[in-house]
């Protein structure tokens, strides 16, 4: 099981940034300790000490180091488009796994989502508005869903 944690924000210059941490799978492998013949304080010893995760970090941060940086160009463009989409205000806060339909499709008035992924949850904060908790158990093309999906799987410019 994998747990994706991320925060996406836009700075005063209009640039999108991301902090992201993915927990799950094997933890990051620490560098092997120096051999017994390596002297404490030597260049090799100092390099090994610098490669160690900081002791004041949580175990999650040590085992699954977070990444932070400017949101990668394609992700930033998609996020900006979803953010500016006039239909975003009409999106519900949560898209259930069973979506009601306006008209019958294949004799049904509802559509069940394929359970091929986990539900996504997020919080959207806008100036002058209360925080909005959003999520979806069903993949869809609504602006709000696109925003939380981009944030969940975001990459930094350095990761591309």
pTM: 0.70
Determine the pLDDT at residue 114. Answer: 66
CB atoms within 10 A of CB 103: 5
Nearest to 18 by CA among 93, 79, 68, 86: 68
pLDDT digits (tens, 9 = 90+) for 88-144: 989 989 888 777 778 888 888 877 776 666 788 999 998 888 999 999 888 888 999
Strand pairing class (67-70; 3-10) = unpaired
What Cα–Cα distance (Å) separates residue 33 from each residue in 29, 39, 44, 53? Answer: 12, 12, 10, 13
Residues 6+ apart with CB under 8 A from 58: none
The per-residue pLDDT for range 6-59, each reduced to its tens digit, is: 999 999 999 999 999 888 877 777 778 888 888 888 988 888 888 777 777 787
């Amino acid at each position: 099981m994998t747990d994706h944690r991320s925060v996406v924000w836009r700075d005063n210059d209009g640039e999108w940034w991301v902090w992201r941490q993915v927990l799950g799978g094997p933890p990051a492998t620490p560098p092997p300790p120096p051999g017994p013949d390596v002297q404490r304080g030597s260049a090799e010893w100092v390099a090994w000490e610098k490669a160690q995760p900081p002791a004041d970090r949580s175990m999650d941060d040590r085992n699954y180091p977070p990444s932070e940086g400017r949101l990668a160009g394609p992700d930033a463009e998609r996020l900006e488009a979803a953010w500016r989409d006039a239909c975003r205000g009409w999106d519900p806060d949560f898209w259930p796994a069973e979506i009601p339909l306006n008209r019958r499709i294949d004799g049904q008035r509802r559509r069940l989502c394929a359970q091929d992924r986990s539900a996504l949850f997020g919080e959207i904060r806008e100036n002058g508005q209360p925080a909005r908790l959003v999520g979806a158990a069903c993949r869809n093309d609504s602006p709000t869903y696109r925003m939380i999906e981009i944030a969940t799987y975001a990459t930094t410019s350095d990761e591309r």
